[in-house]
Amino acid sequence: MTTSGAPATTGAVTSKDVPTVTDAAATTNPRTPSTPATPPIETPPTGTNPNGTAGDEGVAAAFAAAAGVPLTERHRELARAARAVFTPERLAEWRDGPDGPLTARAWRDMARHGLLGASLPAELGGRGLGLLGSLVLSEAMASLGDAGILLAAHVHNDVATRWLADAEPALRDRYLPGLLDGTSSACQADTDPSAEEPTTARRDGGDVVVRGAKRYVINGAGARLCFVSARLDGGTALVLVPKDTPGVRVAHVYDKLGTRSADSARIEFDDVRVPAGHVVSRGGVGQLLRWNRVMSRMRYLIAFDAHLVHRRLLEHIVRHVTRRTLGGRPLGDWPAAAHPLARARADQELMAAGLAALLGRVDGPAAPVPEVAELKWFCVERACDLARLCCDLEGGAGYMWDSPSLRGYAQLRGLRMAGGSQTTMLTLANHSFAGRAELAGLDDPSAAAGPPRAPVPADAPEGRRDHA
């Protein structure tokens, strides 16, 4: 199956169809730290990048070509620098222990090599490489085999810096340089303990006082800056809270299945007082548009991450079923394996088509909120489906921690939560498309009696509450 607008191939699923990739940074077993890392799946031929494509051109470059987005020599320079920096050996140096989260050294090293703020406009201290620059970085990081560093970098590079880029000049000038030179790091705290326990902020003179708790905060333990969503003046606001402010406490650091190179923490805010100027964004249409723009960017990057995991798993399992025999013939010749792998190949092409189609729109004036939500849902869901299939086809080996399939599934579980849960993605898409239909009906009364709106589950979570 070939989908227009994206790189695609046709034919039966064979080991030649899927690009060779590396799983060189297989993490050690968190339950037995002395266990050595699993060797790479396969080393790419000389002259290829970690995704098995020729020279400097990788998956991000293919999407750029399909989308008509220019890939400049500066993007290629970034790709070369990122591949040189994001190595298994460097990741081990950055982590707090054999299987621990990134330390502050990671951000300083990334900054020294020009890998922070790659997508940010040059006038704000970035490299001005746009969303494509973020994809180039993601592709290099994905070769490490732990999606935690991807999520940590997305929050720091593409969420926190974007909030500050649009903030008041005084706030931006005070905090953005630290994120770009690696002396500071950031987290976004969104998930309340429950709908009945919202984090609140109240005005007190020239200050804002924040009270509440946030769970599952990526970078929460190590970050120096917290972007906290809270109820303020009857609406939702985003408040910048420095971690060293009195009343801020990291109450718990979670032990996770995957994405372990990024910490996830519970942070408590006990009447934390910050200047009113630290309200980065508040209620209203402007807040909604900014939120949509920033979060759609995060979700698009997560969809790209899931696509890269899917590519790696498909290459691995196709090689496995080609070499493994059952009943005197390769396992891949049996319909029970061949048919679902053919569907996985089709899924991969659909992911590529969706990512290429939206690449030029995510940074546009109107964020494609429902389309990105659907894309994130589809890419993560289908990658999880493939990971489960891979574990089954590996048999007993698929239950062992050194299985690339099981490790891939562990990473994908983290991607399901990040940026909003899978259920939240469907809810966002439903609400957004329904809203568009209503607006179309106002312009064209004859369209008002169009197709009925899809029902919203009574227990559907709020769009923001499940953000990790």
Residue 102: HSE in the Cβ half-sphere, 13 Å Cα cutoff: 32
Burial 309-341 (b: 16+ CB within 10 A, else e): bbbbbbbbbbbbbbebeeeeebbbeeeebbebb
Neighbour tally for 24: CB within 10 Å = 21
Q: Is the pLDDT of residue 21 over 70?
A: no
Q: Tell me: the pLDDT tens digits for 418-442?
A: 999 999 999 988 887 777 776 676 6
What is the number of alpha carbons within 13 Å of residue 391 lying toward its C-beta? Answer: 15
Mean pLDDT over residues 301-317, rounded?
98
The pLDDT tens digits for 241-280 are: 999 999 999 999 999 999 999 999 999 999 999 999 999 9
Q: Can 187-281 and 285-447 be said to share one CATH topology?
A: no
CA-closest candidate to residue 384, choices 302, 277, 285: 302
Helices 285-323 + 59-67 axis angle, to 10: 120
pLDDT in tens, 79-115: 999 999 999 999 999 999 989 999 999 999 999 999 9
- List all residues 6 or more positions away from 123 whose beta carbon is below 8 Å from its beta carbon: none
Mean pLDDT across the chain, nearest whole number?
A: 85
Rounded to an integer, what distance in angstroms lies between the CA atom of residue 20 and that of residue 403?
A: 17
SS3 197: coil
What is the 3-state secondary structure of 338-363? HHHHHHHHHHHHHHHHHHHHHHCCCC
**Which residues, listed in sequence order, are joined to residue 435 by a DSSP beta bridge?**
none
pLDDT band for 148, please (50, 70, 90 cuts). very high
Answer with the residue of higher pLDDT: 210 or 429: 210
pLDDT confidence band for 322 (50 / 70 / 90): very high
Under 8 Å CB-to-CB from 194, ≥6 apart: which residues?
none
Question: Percent of the chain, pLDDT > 90?
Answer: 74
Domain ranges of the chain: 187-281, 285-447
CATH class as words, domain 285-447: mainly alpha
CA distance 145 to 139: 11
Residue 250 neighbours by CB under 8 Å, 6+ apart: 220, 221, 265, 266, 267
Sorting pLDDT into bands at 50, 70 and 90, what band is 1? very low
- Contact 287/281 with Cβ under 8 angstroms? yes
Superfamily of domain 187-281: Butyryl-CoA Dehydrogenase, subunit A, domain 2 (2.40.110.10)
